[in-house]
Structure 1
């Protein structure tokens, strides 16, 4: 099952992608794809339900993040051996964890905005884990039982903010639009081997990242198990599992995103994202906009 959300911002509707790649509206079944829905009987029922009778959505609507109301977004650093090498850092002995602000989350086709005073904005295609039920002290052997599905994440990063401004990495990871997610939440039954998924990113048509989840240092079950030892994972939480080599920071000379660049990225079986890079029009946000 490939769940999605579609429509204009603040007016998104729930949907799914059928076997013929048509979007079917789920509004008759559920109000939205929320954390509560992922932990409900309706979510389990949909996996085997006949969906051909659901309304078909015409055209090519905007796709939103496939989960509404994400509680927290946990990221894993240096989780591909070859990416750690290109970054000039040691392969970690335990997962490196940091948080990404949920205000960074946007849809898979939304613009990526270069923030004020940013000069080193970078790309990172990543496999995202969407948690389906509350998980705490989860045994590794049962970790998959707590996963609602997988998705594609672009962990956009500002390297100067991240590495040259002191403190932890979060300053370079949490800027607005720095967390495109989607297009789909794909349940595990749709995938043959989550530990052998091709993962890639193209910049202006050039393939710059071309990896496979088999080179992850810590695999999906281990990450769910490990993180649940330190914090409770809730339905709708997202774990972004690290990126393969080919990021701009690792190039000689380093290469960073510029206004007008176009990123296209994907993971086998999980769909494709596409983002245009734009300049920030205004950094002043009024009370009305914040309330939205």
Structure 2
């Protein structure tokens, strides 16, 4: 006899967790009978933070980590950004050997740096190098929010500074992709000094007539926002990127006023003249190459 009690039952699944040393059971008990559950690999699907839809992770990756349903721009790692922007096989990394020390003997700092290196494959929270964008020479710096939230410590500041000096010496344009929670608190004043140092490097590059394009991605906040990103000759941003200095609650508690909805989003900043243009990820490489070509057409 056909049983109707399972027709409308919501199916259950086992998820295969990666790097799990404990074996997963092939069967579970359910309503007095054994039920063999289909196994779904971990990471096969990704939930969009904007529209809430579940997106096939491979489709998301093939679409440059932009939601295929609502266009939400997921955060990208540094090497993913290089693959998106630079012509294949042209990128050469510089200053990759630089690594952070622990100048204040901050407890647990060395372990956090090691964890960031293992997670991202980077020596620090910024990747610097040079290559070609649609055939146009350019130096790039790319911050990675997966490495201690892209915080700017002494090595990050030094690598960014050296990238600007490298571009100035070779009379090349430079593009800075920012993604950061701000200055790295574990390095105290050493971290805050990087704001002035990177800004001075931007000035030297500018005085030699070099083109500097800043691309603000989600999130760009704190001491990073208050230094080299806002000094670009041209400032671009990705859609819906969070851009600001202090957090919304901190500002509201300080000025004792309600702030407009979305006041730290790229769209709000464009409306109020803080940035020059919002560029979707699929159009970013072509936009950058055209800007470089216009500046160096002679």
- Tell me the TM-score range normalised by the shorter chain: under 0.3
TM-score by length of 1: 0.22
Q: Hey, which of these two has a bigger chunk of strand by percent?
A: 1
TM-score by length of 2: 0.22
Higher relative contact order (Cα pairs below 8 Å, separated by 6+ residues): 1
**Structure with the greater alpha carbon radius of gyration:** 2
Q: Hey, which of these two has a bigger chunk of helix by percent?
A: 2
